[in-house]
Structure 1
Amino acid sequence: MATFTYAVAGPVPIVSLKHLDPTLPPVLAGQNPTCSLLVLQKDFADTVGSPPASANYTQPRDCPFPWTRVVLELSVSASDLQKDRVAAIWIDGAEVLRTATPRPMAPGAFWRVRKDITRYATLLRRVASGGGGALSMMLENSNDILPGVFSANVSLHFYRGALSPSFRRLAAGFAAHPSIKGLYSEPADLIVPVSNPNGYYRSGFWLRIDNETHVPSTAITIPRNTYRAVLEIFVSYHGDDEFWYTNPLRSAYRHQPLPSNLSTPRANGGFRQVYATVDGRFVGGHIPFAVLYPSSINPYFWSPVAAIGAFDMPSYDLDLTPFLGFMLDGRPHDIGLGVQDAQPFWLVSANLHLWVDAWSDSVQAGLIEYISPPIKMNRNAEWRDKEGQSEINAEGLFRFTGWVSSSKGNLTTQVSQKIKFKGQVEVQNRGSTTQIELQNKERMMVAIQKGHQLLGRVQLYVEAPLQVQTSMVSAAGGALFQKSRLYHQLTEMVTLSEGQAMTTSTLTDRQDAEGSALMHGDAPVWGSGSTKSSYRYKDGSTCYLRNVNTAGGAVMMDTKSASCAAVADA
Structure 2
Amino acid sequence: MGRRYLALILLLSIVMSIRSFNLPTETVPNVSLEHLDPTLPPAVAAGQIPKCSVVILTQDFADTFGSPPAVANYTHPRECPFPWTRVVLELSVTATDLQRDRVAAVWIDGAEVLRTTTPLPMAPGAFWTVRKDVSRYAALLRRLGDPSYTAVRGNGAITMMLETSSSPLPGFYSANVSLHFYRGAVAATTSATAHPNTRGLYHEPADIILPVSNPQGYSGSGGFWFRINNETHTENAAIALPINAYRAILEVFVSYHGDDEFWYTNPLRSAYLNRPVGNLSTPRTNGGFRQLFVNIDGKFAGGHIPFPVIYPRSINPYFWSPVAAIGAFDMPTYDFDLTPFLGLLLDGQLHEIGLGVRDAQPYWLVSANLHVWVDLWSDAVRAGLILYNVPPIKMNRNAEWRNQDGQSEINAEGLWRFSGWVSSSRGNLTTEVRQKVKFKSQIEVQNRGAMTQVELNNKERMTVEVSRGHQMLGRAQMLMESPLQVQTTKVNAAGGSVFQKSRLFHQLFESVILGEGQAVTTSTLTDRQDAEGSALMHGEEPVWGSGATRSLYKYRDETTCYLRSVNTAGGVVMVDTTSPSCAAEA
TM-score category (smaller protein): over 0.9
CA distance in structure 1 between the aligned counterparts of 2:257 and 2:270, rounded to whole angstroms? 21
Q: Secondary structure at the match of 2:200?
A: helix
- The amino acid of 2:63's aligned partner reads D
- The amino acid of 1:170's aligned partner reads A
Aligned to 1:303: 321
- The amino acid of 2:175's aligned partner reads A
Q: Secondary structure at the match of 2:483?
A: strand
**Is residue 441–residue 461 contact of structure 1 (8 Å, CA) maintained in 2?**
yes
Of residues 55, 61, 71 in structure 1, which corresponds to 2:78? Answer: 61
CA distance in structure 1 between the aligned counterparts of 2:553 and 2:211, rounded to whole angstroms? 32
Question: Is 1:395 aligned to 2:413, yes or no?
Answer: yes
Of residues 152, 157, 180 in structure 2, which corresponds to 1:157? Answer: 180
CA distance in structure 1 between the aligned counterparts of 2:409 and 2:202, rounded to whole angstroms? 39
| Superposed displacement of residue 172, structure 1 | 4.4
1:162-561 equivalences in 2 (<5 Å): 162-164=185-187, 167=190, 169-174=191-196, 179-202=197-220, 203-252=222-271, 265-561=283-579
Question: Is 1:19 aligned to 2:49, yes or no?
Answer: no
CA deviation string 1:141-161 (max 9, x = no partner): 011111111000000000011
- The amino acid of 2:400's aligned partner reads E
CA distance in structure 2 between the aligned counterparts of 1:518 and 1:185, rounded to whole angstroms? 48
Aligned to 2:156: 133
Question: Is 1:43 aligned to 2:60, yes or no?
Answer: yes
Q: Secondary structure at the match of 1:297?
A: coil
**Is residue 183–residue 496 contact of structure 1 (8 Å, CA) maintained in 2?**
no
CA distance in structure 1 between the aligned counterparts of 2:201 and 2:215, rounded to whole angstroms? 30
Question: Is 1:143 aligned to 2:149, yes or no?
Answer: no
| Superposed displacement of residue 315, structure 1 | 0.4
CA deviation string 1:335-391 (max 9, x = no partner): 000000000000000000000111111111001101111100000011111110000
| Superposed displacement of residue 541, structure 1 | 1.6
**Is residue 231–residue 352 contact of structure 1 (8 Å, CA) maintained in 2?**
yes
In structure 2, the CA distance between the partners of 1:206 and 1:32, relative to structure 1 (3 Å rule), is: same
**Is residue 535–residue 544 contact of structure 2 (8 Å, CA) maintained in 1?**
yes
In structure 2, the CA distance between the partners of 1:97 and 1:497, relative to structure 1 (3 Å rule), is: same
**Is residue 43–residue 189 contact of structure 2 (8 Å, CA) maintained in 1?**
no
Q: Which moved more, 1:404-413 or 1:183-192?
A: 183-192
Q: Secondary structure at the match of 1:359?
A: coil
CA distance in structure 1 between the aligned counterparts of 2:76 and 2:30, rounded to whole angstroms? 43
| Superposed displacement of residue 451, structure 1 | 1.6
**Is residue 541–residue 564 contact of structure 1 (8 Å, CA) maintained in 2?**
no
In structure 2, the CA distance between the partners of 1:476 and 1:184, relative to structure 1 (3 Å rule), is: closer
CA distance in structure 2 between the aligned counterparts of 1:140 and 1:422, rounded to whole angstroms? 34
CA distance in structure 2 between the aligned counterparts of 1:165 and 1:96, rounded to whole angstroms? 21
**Is residue 195–residue 205 contact of structure 1 (8 Å, CA) maintained in 2?**
yes
**Is residue 260–residue 284 contact of structure 2 (8 Å, CA) maintained in 1?**
no
- The amino acid of 1:58's aligned partner reads T
CA distance in structure 1 between the aligned counterparts of 2:370 and 2:506, rounded to whole angstroms? 31
**Is residue 161–residue 223 contact of structure 2 (8 Å, CA) maintained in 1?**
yes
Q: Secondary structure at the match of 1:300?
A: helix
Aligned to 1:259: none
In structure 2, the CA distance between the partners of 1:13 and 1:144, relative to structure 1 (3 Å rule), is: closer
- The amino acid of 1:523's aligned partner reads E
Q: Secondary structure at the match of 1:427?
A: strand
CA deviation string 1:35-69 (max 9, x = no partner): 10001000000000100001111111111100000
| Superposed displacement of residue 400, structure 1 | 0.3
- The amino acid of 1:164's aligned partner reads A
CA distance in structure 1 between the aligned counterparts of 2:188 and 2:484, rounded to whole angstroms? 34
**Is residue 229–residue 321 contact of structure 1 (8 Å, CA) maintained in 2?**
yes
CA distance in structure 1 between the aligned counterparts of 2:65 and 2:241, rounded to whole angstroms? 35
| Superposed displacement of residue 180, structure 1 | 4.2
CA distance in structure 2 between the aligned counterparts of 1:66 and 1:238, rounded to whole angstroms? 39
| Superposed displacement of residue 324, structure 1 | 0.4
- The amino acid of 1:119's aligned partner reads R
CA distance in structure 1 between the aligned counterparts of 2:473 and 2:565, rounded to whole angstroms? 38
- The amino acid of 1:133's aligned partner reads G
| Superposed displacement of residue 13, structure 1 | 7.3
CA distance in structure 2 between the aligned counterparts of 1:419 and 1:447, rounded to whole angstroms? 18
| Superposed displacement of residue 323, structure 1 | 0.3
CA distance in structure 2 between the aligned counterparts of 1:161 and 1:491, rounded to whole angstroms? 33
| Superposed displacement of residue 265, structure 1 | 2.4
Question: Is 1:77 aligned to 2:100, yes or no?
Answer: no
> What stretches of structure 1 move > 6 A for 4+ residues in a row?
none
Q: Percent identity?
A: 72
Q: Secondary structure at the match of 1:216?
A: strand
CA distance in structure 2 between the aligned counterparts of 1:64 and 1:497, rounded to whole angstroms? 32
| Superposed displacement of residue 543, structure 1 | 1.4
- The amino acid of 1:146's aligned partner reads L
CA distance in structure 2 between the aligned counterparts of 1:126 and 1:155, rounded to whole angstroms? 18
| Superposed displacement of residue 564, structure 1 | 2.7
**Is residue 247–residue 270 contact of structure 1 (8 Å, CA) maintained in 2?**
yes
Q: Secondary structure at the match of 1:171?
A: coil
**Is residue 180–residue 458 contact of structure 1 (8 Å, CA) maintained in 2?**
no
**Is residue 183–residue 456 contact of structure 1 (8 Å, CA) maintained in 2?**
no
| Superposed displacement of residue 87, structure 1 | 0.1
Q: Which moved more, 1:120-129 or 1:95-104?
A: 120-129
In structure 2, the CA distance between the partners of 1:479 and 1:253, relative to structure 1 (3 Å rule), is: farther
- The amino acid of 2:193's aligned partner reads A
**Is residue 238–residue 346 contact of structure 1 (8 Å, CA) maintained in 2?**
yes
| Superposed displacement of residue 251, structure 1 | 4.1
Compute the TM-score of the two structures, normalised by the length of structure 2.
0.91
| Superposed displacement of residue 252, structure 1 | 4.7
Q: Which moved more, 1:187-196 or 1:124-133?
A: 124-133
Q: Secondary structure at the match of 1:249?
A: coil
| Superposed displacement of residue 129, structure 1 | 2.0
**Is residue 528–residue 552 contact of structure 1 (8 Å, CA) maintained in 2?**
yes
- The amino acid of 1:188's aligned partner reads A
- The amino acid of 2:32's aligned partner reads S
CA distance in structure 2 between the aligned counterparts of 1:53 and 1:138, rounded to whole angstroms? 6
Question: Is 1:97 aligned to 2:117, yes or no?
Answer: no
**Is residue 119–residue 171 contact of structure 1 (8 Å, CA) maintained in 2?**
no
CA distance in structure 2 between the aligned counterparts of 1:185 and 1:516, rounded to whole angstroms? 45
CA deviation string 1:310-337 (max 9, x = no partner): 0000100000000000001111000000
CA distance in structure 2 between the aligned counterparts of 1:13 and 1:211, rounded to whole angstroms? 41
CA distance in structure 2 between the aligned counterparts of 1:137 and 1:183, rounded to whole angstroms? 27
CA distance in structure 1 between the aligned counterparts of 2:201 and 2:33, rounded to whole angstroms? 40
